[in-house]
Homo-oligomer: A and B are copies of this chain.
Amino acid sequence: MTGPVIVINPNSTEQVTRAMDQALEPLRLAAGPEIESLTNPGGPPGVETQEHVDRVAGDVVRMVREHEDRASAFVVACFSDPGLHAAREATARPVFGIAESGMLAALSLGNRFGVLAILSGSVPRHLRYIRSLGIESRLAADLPIGLSVVELADASRTLVRLGEVGEILRDHHGADVLVLGCAGMAAYRSPLEERLGITVIDPTQVAVSAALAAVRLGQTTGPRRRTA
């Protein structure tokens, strides 16, 4: 029997894990595989700095190793994809990162994608990553909504800010598809699309979809195969 796709939330906030898990409901099918979401108890409440990213990378790999025997695939559910490439080296199971998957999906849903970052401090990190993916010519812009974690709890205000920054991305930077630059924001996807009239991507949903497909098709991520 095929094991579950395990979705790892690298931060320690159960609420984020729950929000994200709930958004995966439409992907849960009788035929399986199951989708299981795990919180990283040792992580920070939110992954907000490069130091957080580097730190939780180790946790992610540890969790991948711990669950490798029973899992069929993994998803790293933090928009900085912490530990993604280390996990790929550590296991032959397919591993997907939500930033990578979300932005690649954007390339087939629009011409130039915008990223809605949470904090301004994340933008340089995102830009380094986008260049490392080699897709910078498709980026419209990566802009922060500039809300602190506390303020994010206020859903209506968050939606307002996502809308305001989304409009700037659409109108001033020419984005025709947007990627939510954070896990656990799937609830905003639909109202934001409604407001802006362009496609909005929840990166966790598309990464989990890619993982499910890889399992069904028997794909593996490359690097490990080679040395195998």
- Which residues of A does B touch, CB under 8 Å? 26-27, 29-31, 49-51, 53-55, 57-58, 61, 82-83, 85-86, 88-90, 94, 96-97, 100-101, 104-105, 107-112, 121, 123-125, 127-129, 131-138, 174, 176-177, 190, 193, 197-199, 201-202, 205-206, 209-210, 212-213, 216-223, 225-228
Complex Cα spacing A228 to B194, Å: 11
CA distance A132 to B85 in the complex (A): 15
What is the count of identical protomers in the complex? Answer: 6
Which B residues touch A61, using CB under 8 A? 51, 54
CB-nearest residue of chain B relative to A201?
B219
Shortest beta-carbon distance from A15 to chain B in Å: 22
In the complex, A111→B111 CA distance in Å? Answer: 23
Q: Given that A85-B128, A213-B27, A216-B26 are known contacts, is A54 also in contact with B50, CB under 8 Å in the complex?
A: no
A199 x B222 contact (CB < 8 A): yes
User: What residues of chain B lie closer than 8 Å to A176, measured between beta carbons?
Assistant: 124, 222-223, 226
Residue of B nearest to A186 (CB): B217
Min CB distance, A149 to chain B, in Å? Answer: 16
Measured between alpha carbons, how far is A109 from B86 in the docked complex, in Å?
14
Given known pairs A58-B54, A89-B51, A108-B96, the reply for A225 and B198 (CB within 8 Å) is: yes
Contact B54 A83 (CB under 8 A): yes
Q: List 24 A-B contacts (CB under 8 A).
A: A26-B218, A27-B217, A49-B86, A51-B61, A53-B86, A58-B58, A85-B124, A85-B125, A100-B107, A100-B108, A108-B221, A109-B221, A110-B223, A111-B124, A111-B128, A123-B174, A134-B137, A190-B218, A197-B226, A199-B219, A199-B221, A199-B222, A209-B213, A210-B213
Which residues does chain B contribute within 8 Å of A55, judged by CB atoms? 57-58
